Structure 1
Amino acid sequence: MDISRRTLMSALPTAATLVAGIGPPAASAAGRRRDGSVGPDGQDRLLANADALFAGDTASNARAEVAAKLTAIDTAARRRLAALDGAGPGELFRGTPLGTSEANLNASFQYLWEIALATRVADGGPASDLRGNAAVRRRVLDGLSWLHEHHYGDQERGYYGNWFTWEIGISSHVSRTLALLRDEVAAHRPELTGLYIASMDAYLRNGKDGDADLDSRFHTGANLADITTNRMLQGAVTGDAERVAKAVADQETVYATIDPYRLRHGVTDGFYADGSFIQHASVAYTGSYGTALLGRVTQTLKLLDGTGLAAGDVLAGVLHAWVTRGFAPLIFEGWMMEVVRGRAVSRTAGGYAAVTAVAESVADLSAYVPRERAAALRGYVKHLAETSRVPPDPGGFVSPVSVARYAGILADPAVPAADLNPPARSIAFNAMDKTVHRRPGFAFALARSSDRISKYEYMNGENLMPWFQGDGAHYLYLSGEDQSEAFGADYFTAVSPYRLAGVTAPAEERGTVPELYGNLWYDNPERGFTASSESQNAYVYFPRGTNTFSGGATLGAFGAAGLVQGDDAAYAALRAGLLPDDFVAYRNARATKSWFLLDDEVVVLSAGVGDDAGRAVTTTVDTRIADPGAAVSVTGRLRDGARWTGAGTAPLAWLRYADASRGTSVGYVFLAGPPPTVERETVARSRRVVRLSNPDTVVTKQVFALSVTGAAGAPAASMAWALVPGASERRLAAYARGPLSVVANDTGLQAVRHAGLGLLAANAFTAGPHRAAWLRLDGPASVLARRTRAGAVEIAVSDPTMRRERVSVTLRGRARAAVAADEGVDVVRVPGGTRIEVTTRRAHGRSFTATLR
């Protein structure tokens, strides 16, 4: 569901209606007093919804499946109370010293919230003397007063460290605490609400006049959703209808699909028409900030239910589109793919944990959408639970009501488990330079980058060695595996950052940001480099590439993607003399790459592989990790039919990597190029090599790396291979007879043909006509064409540069007529064939299709 700002504004109540009073629509008698004026029912409803959201209700808490969640709330509160009792000088909680650490201050507010929550848990669950405990609630209020007096209220002393803590983190804990303990605050510390709201407004220093600012680069996407949700609660507690109305209106800008050609407030953060999600202006972030946004907006749906403050069906429709188009393609057997997790890939809480928030939101959303959609969402919830090696943990849900709803879905025999993805699917997330290809048994995720999208994200000592994660790094997920043992933080810990699967990297040693500068960032205020400055973002935290070609096309369940590897923005700026002399940036190797995504294979072509600086360059075909004791084997055959022994330099036909412990395998068919090198070693490293705050736990893994290395100063090379998940030796041997063939492989054109599928796929990287078998391409372009058994030709075209007005493709041979064609596609008969003219202007990399007979 692509939803524009105009659509949202027409569906939501007007600002005047909202300010007139927080209440349900006029048609509802519950929202009006006898004299006809709008009563406080809407405000009360919002606060009652907040109570249920965080503390559950009698119905939810009575379910046996919710008891563990309620016990966890109670246990956490008792642990915080013990720390409160044992606090020393300068502390509110033992072990959490205050005065210089914003993280400790945020934690202190969080601990007060956890205590407050335990006192407000609704009846129905396990008995607890904390529930309704007035004395404990007073202790929370005392703690709030003390923190405000000594560490929060003084604006001159405050706002050190991370801006997020002051504008979002602390405000989230305080706003929820004030909402849940509103009666106690009003009765015993009425001044607290005003003090804190004034301070929270003052700490919105990236805002405007003590409020969110839609023009601020800090107040976008998930961050804006957090800020506005906090302000909704604040307004409801104080009866400030204008604050609530403004917060709702501000948050609804997050729901609109981003149109990159008509940006509002210059914001590129949010969901795009192709399902992409971007945060931090250029980071693909569905699996971290995106999950936070999904959760927050689902909470908004629940908070505003029945208040008349939002069109619930419209908002539910937005969320449904996010789930089906943006999240489901990126989740494989309960694991969130690495390509959209930013710096979170270095955290020990991996892809399974990231899906927990999605499961909660989908379960909740199923209660707010029409019946058919609700059935599909409930089936997906059960699918996540049944296919994941580590099912979503409802103990990590925010709401006890969500836990109850989730448990009800799993227990319902009338709900069949069903994926929201079809069995075969290829998705070009071109707006965020990512590609996902799914088949029964595997999923392939590819990370690209460009002058539009960041190569990687490093920040706050997380993801310390990210340099090549956007240079064609791929992740091949095999069905039935525990993905936390194959990928996640342990993959980045054990595998050299220069040998990530799919990467072409020069032979050099790079330094991490802390190693280079002795700090978590490059500190040079005189040249504009501070912790959260735009320069820091552009050149240290998440630099974009300098290349323009990154994208691809999809034709049904098939896909093509291409990338011209380039330097990052920091290196280009340093060469141009725009950065200080002590700033460190690294030059990249050169490569032009294509990935052709078929039924059984992912075919990879590389050309122009080399280095302008004369360094040796390694292209990694694949890298896989396994436990030290896993029964891993590597077998293969040479092109002359002899068995591969691991020695010699004779051309290889294929190799097969198999992990008998997991029951998985991957085949590699070598179509052209130098012979690869097979490396197997046992690696032991601390998880802190990828994230400073990780536990100092040593990870030991078997590492299998298959790569091709060009010597220093060697001429540019080309190579081609196919990844064949789950292949047997017999099947791999059959590739000697087809059906794959390389049509072209140079820096101007890369193309392959699959005879069995009748498919021809090509990427043209340069201008001018290019001939690929029976196609002539006017590059740059990405094209797939398939001859069906019925004699028709299906074709898909995209502009991976996102800069062209039109793309032309000519089918040589007898003239053909269009049976069906997307808007913007013209089919013209020309001498010797049929020309397809595609208007790609402002299509943002979208594929255009046509069927010809």
Structure 2
Amino acid sequence: MDLTRRRLLSFVPATALLTAVTPASAARATPGAMNADPSRLLANVIAIYAGTAESNARPEVAAKVTAIDNTARTWLAALDRAGTGELFAGLPLGTSDPNLSASYQHLYEIALAYRRPGPASDLQGNEQVRTRIAEKLVWLHDNYYGDQSKGYYGNWFTWEIGISTFVSKTLTLIDAPADLITRYVASMDAYLRNGKDSDVDLDSRFHTGANLVDITSNRVLQGALLNDDARIRKALQDQFTVFATVDPYNLQHGVTDGYYADGSFIQHSSVAYTGSYGKALLSRVVQTVKVLAGTEYAQSDDLVGVVQGWVEHGFAPLIFEGWMMEIVKGRAVSRTGTGYDDVAVIVEAIVDLADYAAGADAARLKAFAKFTARPTINVNSFVSPVSIGRFADLKNDAAIVPADLNPAALSTAFNAMDRTVHRRPTYAFALARNSSRISKYEYMSGENLLPWFQGDGAHYLYLAGQDQTQSFGIDYFTTVSPYALGGVTAPVETRKSIPELYGTAYYDDPPTFTPSSEAQNTYVYFPVGTNAYSGGATLDAYGAVGWVQSDDFAYASRDALPDDFVVYKNASATKSWFLLDDEIVVLAAGVGDATRAVTTTLDTRIAGATDPVTIIGALRDGSPWTGTGSITPRWLRYTNGAASVGYHFLQPTALSVDLQTVTRSRRVVRTSNPDTAVTKQVFALTAAQPADSQRSLAYALVPNATESALKSYQHGRIALLANTPRLQAVQHLGLRLTAANTFTPGSHHLPGLTIDGPASVIIRRQASSVQVAVSDPTTQRDSITVNLRARYLKAAAPVAGVQVTRTITGTRLTFSTRHTYGRSLAITLLPAW
């Protein structure tokens, strides 16, 4: 990510960014050949969605073209079968906004077949089809859309974004008559009720991030249809605010949605959302670049550079072997689409973006697209037939060598969204946390029904060379207990979903609690935690993460909520994760609850119903053990075919080892999922404790562990230095690395080291130097002081924000953490002689 450029964009007025880019190829071929003719924008839109004669004639695109035609025929037949109150058979209108939106979508899908170039069909250019589409648009408007007093029921998104998206593209594809365009644009403006004067309102909480890009993209297209240059420019001016890096200490329009300097992406004010809304935003902004190509609106490469930064530092760390990680998908984790499907959207955007980048940037993007796309990628899911052709060219070009944008070893602290990703060539570890800044989970519209602990230290350990659909995705959340996600500490109780509690998909108590109201968002859909401490330091490819488990904001506010509003109290725990090469060391202290029993799930994995799962280990006295049951082990090893995970225990821990066959319907996590039964073997390591007790845990997760590797840990490879609610620290002897998280005010003492107040610290001693990295997980401290009992050290080079002072007893390091928002500050020290 070009942070300098992105920070610059934070201060550049949107009017100065009223340009996207021209493809490098177009700029070379036709210098100065750009114009402001809105008809060029419309032609670009048609080429994007319906393809070109050249793209659609390609054999690689044939299946997409066939699918376009077949889909259109399906909906034309459904038009013929429609009953009273329906446009399409099976989609009754009048009370269902999803059915109304779907009706507009299907008209758009018919329009694609009418307008697409390429191989001839009976639908292509068929005036009867065009006339029928136009007539049905009029019918929908007259009966179900145009009357403002009857519309706008259900979800606001349907009326302000969903319908407008389909209508705007359909009007373009059929070259709609002017009166139909003006009629619909007037209605679409009127439905922009969260805006201002029938336009975007940058102060509206609805007009942010991906939603803002959707709305403004639609308005660009509407401006082109109206030949309204001012509308186009205003929409672009609004959209380009999304490209600015969010500065949490200087919010623009009060908006926290968008991309942060550390690569985090937030939507809905507090939800970590790169893998859902973030990918939608990426796709839409790249489409904007394509729509503006070759026009006066496209003359600068700044926006492409910013988007490339998103890809490199926001998306790439979250994609492991073509799979989008669960930690950034919000309620979308409950959908049946896979992590591979998510990445197909991103690959299409990267392929297109590369066509607008130049030189080494383009080469890096193409290499990453080729590296990321699995052999099974469904290119027919691409939005554009042109993109399918571009991808085929890229795939067939032997000069493009697949290459990851991530280094082989990487530890990424997305502290702005309380997420961490730790990668090595054979595994990736992803961790989801929460705080008073970031939501514990997202539930909405009957999606993600059982979400309560997804942001409470839940982790996902991805092993290389595996089909991740067999380990994670929808079937993981379907078959694993929501109280027993890997890494979670939960009180022993039964909670109810929102529909079970209230009989609707939301808590209904107007005027305060209505769908999409601020109260609904704050207390029901995505409540934040009440803890400030969540985050950690990175040093090269190593990481330390600390987190204090808390109640959510709804429970903390229970006295101010209606009597029938149900809230749940959480258990207590202080946790750390130390991210190394061969292992992830996990510490927990102060685990418990005054009135309820508590269970901590050290890890959970799923396997196929007939997979050859084995569990072996050794007890504390070294005697071998196998199977399931209650034990106090020295180490354990789970295997499923070639996949294995090991567990080494740094202190005696009484555990339950379970392997159960579980069958559940995918509908248990999302009301609209197909009622498909899933059967999995569910492996879980759990530690139970009674009410009114406190305990600690210390263990290492060892990806791809061999039995001999697990046995080697008993020789002191990892030393547990501290594990209390005040201080958690470990030392890795082979790496000569010490990592610590301090949670409370005052001085915290470790061998050769003192840390002042809450902090996350990593120290690595090399043969002739010492590296120190520090971050402020609270985001609230102005400075952090670390004292090393090593004298005569000096900075290898000055580091902004770090002061080195020699003292009588050693070396004092003062890190200026004011307004760093959890970012790590690192310095290398050398002997002074």
**Distance (Å, rounded) in 1 between the aligned partners of 2:6 and 2:196:** 25
What SS class does the counterpart of residue 499 from structure 1 fall into? coil
Structure 2 counterpart of 1:130, from 98, 123, 127: 123
What is the CA-CA distance between 1:823 and the residue it aligns to? Answer: 1.0
1:176 maps onto 2:169 in alignment: yes
Change in CA separation of 1:659 and 1:17 when aligned onto 2, cut-off 3 Å: closer
- Residues 589 and 85 (structure 1), Cα distance of their counterparts in 2 relative to 1, 3 Å cut: same
Q: Which of 532, 545, 556 is matched with 1:572 structurally?
A: 556
Unaligned runs of 5+ in 1: 19-23, 32-39
Structure 1 CA distance for aligned equivalents of residues 501 and 628 of structure 2: 40
Name the aligned partner's letter for residue 7 of structure 1.
L
- With over 3 angstroms needed to count, the CA separation of the structure-2 counterparts of 1:360 and 1:422, relative to structure 1, is same
Alignment of 1:698-777 (within 5 A): 698-714=677-693, 716-777=694-755
Question: Using a 3 Å threshold, how does the CA distance of structure 1 residues 391 and 464 change in structure 2: closer, same or farther?
Answer: same
SS of 1:443's equivalent in the other structure is strand
The 8 Å contact of residues 384 and 392 in structure 1, kept in 2 or not, is answered as no
Counterpart CA distance in 2 for 1:272 and 1:17 is 22
1:63 is displaced (CA, Å) by 1.5
Q: Equivalences for 1:517-536 in 2 at 5 Å?
A: 517-526=502-511, 528-536=512-520
Deviation at 1:59?
A: 2.1
SS at match of 2:681: strand
How far the C-alpha of 1:162 sits from its partner, in A, is 0.4
Question: Quick check: 2:727–2:743 contact (8 Å CA) kept in 1?
Answer: yes
Unpaired stretches in structure 2, ≥5 consecutive residues: 21-26
Matched residue SS, 2:192: coil
Determine which of 770, 782, 788 is the counterpart of 1:805: 782
Q: Who is 2:145 aligned against?
A: 152
1:738 Cα shift?
2.3
Deviations 1:368-414 (A, max 9, x none): 112111111111111112xx3x7331111111111110111111111
Give 1:648 deviation, angstroms: 8.1
Q: Residues 334 and 447 of structure 2 are in contact (CA less than 8 Å); yes or no, is this contact kept in structure 1?
A: yes
Matched, 1:829 2:822: no
RMSD: 1.7
**Post-superposition offset of 1:651:** 3.5
Residue 456 of structure 1, CA deviation:
0.1
Asked if the contact 1:384–1:391 (Cα under 8 Å) also holds between the matched residues in 2, the reply is no
Match of 1:430 in 2: 415
- How many Å separate the matches in 2 of 1:560 and 1:799? 12
Deviates more, 1:588-597 or 1:307-316: 307-316
**CA shift for structure 1 position 256:** 0.6
Name the CA distance, whole Å, in 2 between partners of 1:659 and 1:774: 43
Q: Aligned equivalents of 2:561 and 2:660: distance in 1?
A: 40
2:23 corresponds to:
none
Structure 1 stretch displaced more, 276-285 or 367-376: 367-376
Q: 2:159 aligns with which of 152, 161, 166?
A: 166
Counterparts of 2:198 and 2:124, CA distance in 1: 35
CA distance in structure 2 between the partners assigned to 1:154 and 1:437 by the alignment: 53
Which letter maps to 1:835? Answer: R
Once the two structures are superposed, what CA deviation does each residue of 1:287-345 show, in whole Å capped at 9, x if it has no partner? 00000000000000000112121444111101100000000000111110000000000
Q: Distance in 1 between matches of 2:630 and 2:550?
A: 31
1:49 counterpart = 2:79? no
Check the 8 A contact 1:8/1:252 in 2, yes or no.
no
8 Å Cα contact 1:258-1:270 kept in structure 2: yes
Read off the aligned partner of 2:701 and give its amino acid letter. Answer: L
Counterparts of 1:650 and 1:232 in 2: how far apart (Å)?
64
Counterpart position of 2:24: none
Structure 1 distance, partners of 2:483, 2:411, is 28
Mark the CA change 1:76 to 1:745 in structure 2 (over 3 Å): closer, same or farther.
Answer: same
Letter in 1 for 2:644: S
1:84 aligns with 2:84: no
Measure how far apart 1:712 and its partner are.
Answer: 2.2
1:551 aligns with 2:535: yes
Q: Could you give the per-residue CA deviations for residues 626-684 of structure 1, whole angstroms, max 9, x where no partner exists?
A: 01100000000112110024588663110000001xx1000000001422210111011
Moved more, 797-806 or 664-673: 664-673
Shift of the 12–367 alpha-carbon distance from structure 1 to 2, 3 Å rule, reads farther
Q: Does structure 1 retain, via aligned residues, the 8 Å contact 2:720–2:730?
A: yes
- Determine helix, strand or coil for the equivalent of 1:210: coil
For the residue of structure 1 that corresponds to 2:110, the secondary structure is helix
3-state DSSP class of the match of 1:561? strand
- Partners in 2 of 1:544 and 1:29 — Cα distance? 51
8 Å Cα contact 1:330-1:336 kept in structure 2 = yes
In the alignment, structure 1 residue 845 sits paired with structure 2 residue 792: no
In structure 2, the partner of 1:485 is 470
1:623 aligns with 2:625: no
Paired AA for residue 770 in structure 2: V
SS at match of 2:483: helix
In structure 2, the CA distance between the partners of 1:464 and 1:313, relative to structure 1 (3 Å rule), is same
Pick closer, same or farther for the CA change 1:311–1:740 going to 2, 3 Å: farther
1:620 and 1:821, CA in 2 relative to 1: closer, same or farther beyond 3 A? farther
Where do 1:242-253 residues align within 5 Å? 242-253=230-241
2:794 to 808, 811, 817: 817
Contact 2:410 2:542 in 1 (8 A): yes
Cα deviation code 1:413-471 (max 9, x no counterpart): 11111111111000000000000000011000000000000000000001001001111
CA-to-aligned-CA distance 1:484-522 (integer Å, 9 cap, x gap): 111111101101111100000011000110111111000
Are 1:406 and 2:391 counterparts?
yes
Contact 1:821/1:849 (<8 A) preserved: no
For 2:719, give the aligned amino acid.
S
3-state SS of 2:420 partner: strand
2:563 and 2:250 map into 1 onto residues whose CA distance is: 38
User: 1:781 matched to which residue of 2?
Assistant: 759
Q: 1:511/1:700 Cα in 2 relative to 1: closer, same or farther (>3 Å)?
A: same
Kindly indicate whether residue 276 of structure 2 is the aligned counterpart of residue 306 of structure 1. no
Q: Distance in 1 between matches of 2:430 and 2:15?
A: 41
Alignment of structure 1 residues 110-121 onto 2, 5 Å: 110-121=105-116
Task: Read off the aligned partner of 1:180 and give its amino acid letter.
Answer: L
Among residues 190, 193, 215, which one is paired with 2:181 in the alignment?
193
Change (3 A) 1:213 1:78: same
Residue from 68, 72, 75 that aligns with 2:67:
72
d(CA) in 1 for partners of 2:627, 2:65:
57
Equivalent-residue separation in structure 2 for 1:85 and 1:783 (angstroms): 68
Deviation at 1:362, TM superposition (A): 0.5
Q: What amino acid does structure 2 have at the position aligned with 1:423?
A: A
Q: Name the SS of the counterpart of 2:758 in structure 1.
A: strand
Correspondences of 1:79-478 after superposition (within 5 Å): 79-123=74-118, 126-182=119-175, 185-186=176-177, 190-385=178-373, 388=374, 391-478=376-463
Match of 2:592 in 1: 610
The CA deviation at 1:202 is 0.1
Equivalent-residue separation in structure 1 for 2:388 and 2:567 (angstroms) = 48
State how far apart, in whole Å, the 1-side matches of 2:520 and 2:798 are. 46
Larger RCO, structures 1/2 (Cα 8 Å, 6+ apart): 2
The range that moved more, 208-217 or 772-781, is: 772-781
Work out whether residues 359 and 392 of structure 1, in 8 Å CA contact, stay in contact via their aligned partners in 2.
no
Give the equivalent residue in structure 2 for 1:35.
Answer: none
Give, as a single letter, the amino acid of the residue that structure 2 aligns with 1:695. Answer: P
Matched, 1:678 2:657: yes
Q: Does the C-alpha gap of structure 1 residues 596 and 5 become closer, same or farther in structure 2, counting only changes over 3 Å?
A: closer
* Paired letter, 2:733: A
1:109 is displaced (CA, Å) by 0.4
Judge which range, 56-65 or 106-115, deviates more. 56-65
Whole-Å Cα distance in 2 between the matches of residues 230 and 624 of structure 1? 43
**Paired residue secondary structure (1:606):** strand
Q: Is the CA contact 1:620–1:706 (under 8 Å) kept in the aligned structure 2? A: yes
In structure 2, what is the Cα distance between the partners aligned to 1:289 and 1:632?
A: 36
CA–CA distance in structure 2, aligned partners of residues 565 and 594 of structure 1: 11
SS at match of 1:112: helix
Distance 1:30 1:652 in 2: 73
Post-superposition, which runs of at least 4 consecutive aligned residues in structure 1 deviate over 2 A?
1-18, 27-31, 645-651
- Distance of aligned partners of 1:819 and 1:417 in 2 relative to their CA distance in 1, 3 Å threshold: same
